[in-house]
Amino acid sequence: MKRLIEKGLMFGNLVEVSSPVLIDRYNRALKHLTGKTTALPDFHIDISGYSPEVGDELGDQLYLNPNGVNRQFILLTTEQKRAPLLGEKFSTTRPLLRRFIDENEPQLFALTAQDAVAGELDNSVFELGSPDRLFDIRRIEVRADTTRSHVANAQVLADKITRFQTAPDAWFDDVLIAEMIALARETGDVTRNPVALSPVAAEDASFWTAHFGGLYLFRAEDKSVVITTDPEVTTKADATYHLDQRNAIARFLDANGLVEPIIKARGVNGAAILRQKMDFILVDAAAELGRDVRDRRQLRSLAQQLGEALPDAYQGLAATLRWAEGAGPWPRIPSDHPAYFYLLRAASGPNRDMVNRLLSELAPLDVRQLFICHKQLFYRTYAGWPETKKAFVANFLEAEYQVDKAGARAALFGDEPAMEPADEPEDLIDIVGPWGAVRRMR
């Protein structure tokens, strides 16, 4: 993992905390949330304020995420919005925290200038004894305040000001006036500079969770579909599939408009993406054969040497590429073919990132997509690779992804999904609901 850390591919973009003032604020917030403090002279934090160094010191990597369910967070600066989320348990966590910071940035900037902001992603579920408890997570709301309760006190002060201005004889209420003066010392002038944080929440969202070995919960209205990585997991969803049930998963994704063929997607160079996926498959084949490959020229040479012994996934992508370049017929590649999921990307929509994460599990040799969409799985699989594959992949990601992350993501997956509600339904799939085909598949 040292190679990944040195190249900024692991623990990258964390926020350094080394100022005594910030450490003191962090400890106040940490004490407020957990009853613990850190004695470290410096450490690094992610978007939620979690620090791997503090986790090591406390002997608890879930010190801000008890039971892995209700994520707590500490904000020392709005710059944390650019940091990753380490130890991710739910795919909704980082987008929700990022949206909270974005929508409240001026207020948070002012608050963190004098104190830490501490809070929680509250979903009313405190433990997950079984997969069915996941269905009880219907609303996730961000709740936050400073350690000195600036936001709550500001609301109390605003209420007292209203009472002072409207209640009969309030001008002669010495107790009320004294309370207002005391609160104003903490909050400042809330009439000119209101201290309030806009509520941010997600309701009935589909999500991925690391619990139960990794599980995808798709839901809309009263229907739900679960895709699990553990074949022993069962749920009360309308349909539950394991990753090995490729035909059923393919039907579900296609019938509900969740995927599109890369080669036909608008605004991308589909042929270039397929070539890169073929290179990744060759890198894996070279590692299996104990061959050291360092560049694309050596990969092409290996492909020529292997000939018909090339992996089926490679040959399926090559056939599609020939069609795209006008050098061959459209290939018939069924959903149980090893190349099938390498040919897809998520369609635009609120579930785009989650579907791309799922596709990275179904097509794991595409190491770039795996790294971008499912870092936890990437790090786990990376640890078991031969050194030659580790070096090739790390060098590739440093040279062709790190230099322009946003551009690479846009080129591969399209524009970011909109935060606004979707337009009124127009076609049949939208009218019957995203999971309308589930009943037919059962």
Relative orientation angle of helices 270-289 and 296-306, to the nearest 10 degrees = 70
Provide the whole-model pTM.
0.84
The confidence score (pLDDT) of residue 410 equals 84
* List of the chain residues with pLDDT < 50: 190-192, 418-442
- Tell me the C-alpha distance between 166 and 47, whole Å: 43
Query: pLDDT value at position 204?
Result: 84
What pLDDT score does 246 carry? 96
DSSP string, 69-99: TS-EEEES-GGGGGS--SS--BTTHHHHHHH
8 A C-beta contact, residue 393 and residue 382? yes
How far, in Å, CA of 398 to CA of 240, rounded? 38
CB 54 within 8 A of CB 74: no
- Residue 435: predicted pLDDT: 45
User: Tens digit of pLDDT for each residue in 142-160?
Assistant: 998 888 776 766 666 566 6
The pair of structure tokens assigned to 118 is 């501490």
Long-range contacts of 121-130 (CB under 8 A, 24+ apart): 121/70, 121/71, 121/72, 121/73, 121/93, 121/96, 121/97, 122/70, 123/69, 123/70, 125/69, 125/70, 126/67, 126/69, 126/70, 127/67, 127/69, 128/67, 128/68, 128/69, 128/211, 128/212
For residues 205 and 216, give the distance between their C-alpha atoms in angstroms, rounded to a whole number: 11
Do 220 and 422 touch, CB atoms closer than 8 A?
A: no
